Amino acid sequence: MTDERSKPETKPSAAAAGAAGVDLDEEDEGPDVLQIAPERQFPEEESRKGFWGKLKRGLLMTHTEIIDKVNAAMEGRATLDEETLEFLEEALIGADLGVETSLELVDGLRRDVRPQQAVDVFKLRERLVDEMAILLLDAPQPPRQPASGPRVTLVVGVNGVGKTTSVAKLARRSQLDGERVLIAAADTFRAAAIEQLELWGRRLGVDVVRTAPGGDPAAVVFDALQAARARRVDHVLVDTAGRLHTKDHLMQELSKIGRVIEREAPGWQRSTLLVLDATTGQNAISQARTFSAVVPVDGVLLAKLDGTAKGGMAVAVARELRLPVLWLGVGEQAEDLVEFRPREFAAALLG
C-alpha cells in the first residue's frame, strides 16, 4: 500500500464537485477529494475474501484498462489543456461509462481548470473518483428495506446472464445474514437451470421448490410460498422469466406470479431484481430497457464483472437507465457477490 493509508478520510461534498474552483497543480494540497483508504475503512474486511478485495478483483480488468487510457491521454502533457481533456473524455467513453456520464466527469474538471495549469495524473484520478462518487450518489438509490418481516425477491433476466448463479449467491448472502432461505425454481423452461439450482441448493443447504420442466411458474411460486410459511422462511428467492421472446408472454408470466404472491404472501416485502451480464455491454442495457418496460425493476445485479473491462457499465445503468445497482457478481462461487457502494465503486474503478 502507499501512504494513502495514513491520509484522513474526507467525504465528497458539493464544494468538492468544483463550485469552489479546485486546483489540480502538483504543488497544491489539492481538492477535498475522496481519499478512501479501504483497509482502514473496513478493517474487518481486509482479506482478499472481504468486500474490498472482492470489489477490486471484480473491477481489475476495467480498472487496468481505464487507468492505461487515462495515463495514455496524459502522457507527455504537462498541462490540462482542451486537447488533453478531449482525450480523457474518449478514454472514459471507451470504458463503457456512458457518453453522458463521461462528458459530465470531464466537464467537472474543465470547470475548474486554469489556463496552462500543470497537472499531476494521480491528483487527476483522485479528482475523477470524487466526481464519479458524487454522480453515483446522485443516481437512484435502492429503496430502504424495512428492518424485519419476510420477503420475496423475484429474480429476472435472460438465459445465460448468470441468473442461476446469482440466485445462489443471494441465497448465500441471506444465510450469512442469519436468514432462513428458500429458492423457487420458477424458470421452468430449461431443465438444466432447474438441476443447476438443485445442485446449488444441496451445496448451500437451501431447499429448492421445483416442478417438471415446462411446468407452470406460478404454481412453483405457490408451492414455494406455502412451504415458506410452514417453515417460517425469511426470504424466498424466485428464479424466473428467462425468455424475452415476446413482451406479452413475459408480462403475463410475471403478473400471474405477482397475483400468487399477493394472495399467498400478503404483507411480505416484494422486490424484483434484474440480472444483467456485464460482459455484454450495450446488449445488457437494451435488455434492461425491455425488462423495465414490462415490470417495475427495483434493482440490478450486474454479473460477471470480473470477466470484463466493461465494468463502467454499472455507472451507465445507474445514471442513464436510472435503475439502482444493488449487487455486483465477481466470480463463479456463492460468495463472489458484493454490494454496490457508490464511493467505494468509484475508488476501485478510478483510484
Name the site residues for ligand GDP (rule: CB under 6 A).
Answer: 159-165, 193, 196, 303-304, 306-307, 329-332, 336
Query: 35 or 280, CB closer to ligand GDP?
Result: 280
Query: 21 or 160, CB closer to ligand GDP?
Result: 160
Q: How far is the CB of 103 from ligand GDP (least distance, A)?
A: 29
Query: 39 or 332, CB closer to ligand GDP?
Result: 332
The helix/strand/coil state of 321 is coil
Q: Which residue is nearest to ligand GDP (CB)?
A: 329
Instruction: Supply 87's cell numbers.
Output: 482525450
Task: Tell me the C-alpha distance between 222 and 260, whole Å.
Answer: 6
Query: 62 or 165, CB closer to ligand GDP?
Result: 165
Query: 161 or 317, CB closer to ligand GDP?
Result: 161
Alpha helices in 21-81 (DSSP H): 38-41, 51-58, 60-74
Q: How far is the CB of 58 from ligand GDP (least distance, A)?
A: 8
Residues 6 or more apart in contact with residue 141 via CB below 8 angstroms: 324
Q: How far is the CB of 147 from ligand GDP (least distance, A)?
A: 29
Q: How far is the CB of 270 from ligand GDP (least distance, A)?
A: 21
Task: Tell me the C-alpha distance between 224 and 245, whole Å.
Answer: 26
Q: How far is the CB of 25 from ligand GDP (least distance, A)?
A: 41
Q: How far is the CB of 15 from ligand GDP (least distance, A)?
A: 37
- Per DSSP, 7 falls in state S
- Per DSSP, 336 falls in state -
Alpha helices in 145-190 (DSSP H): 163-176
Task: Tell me the C-alpha distance between 330 and 41, whole Å.
Answer: 21
Sheet containing strand 269-277, edge to edge, reads 207-209, 181-185, 235-239, 151-156, 269-277, 299-303, 325-329, 337-339
Query: 159 or 175, CB closer to ligand GDP?
Result: 159
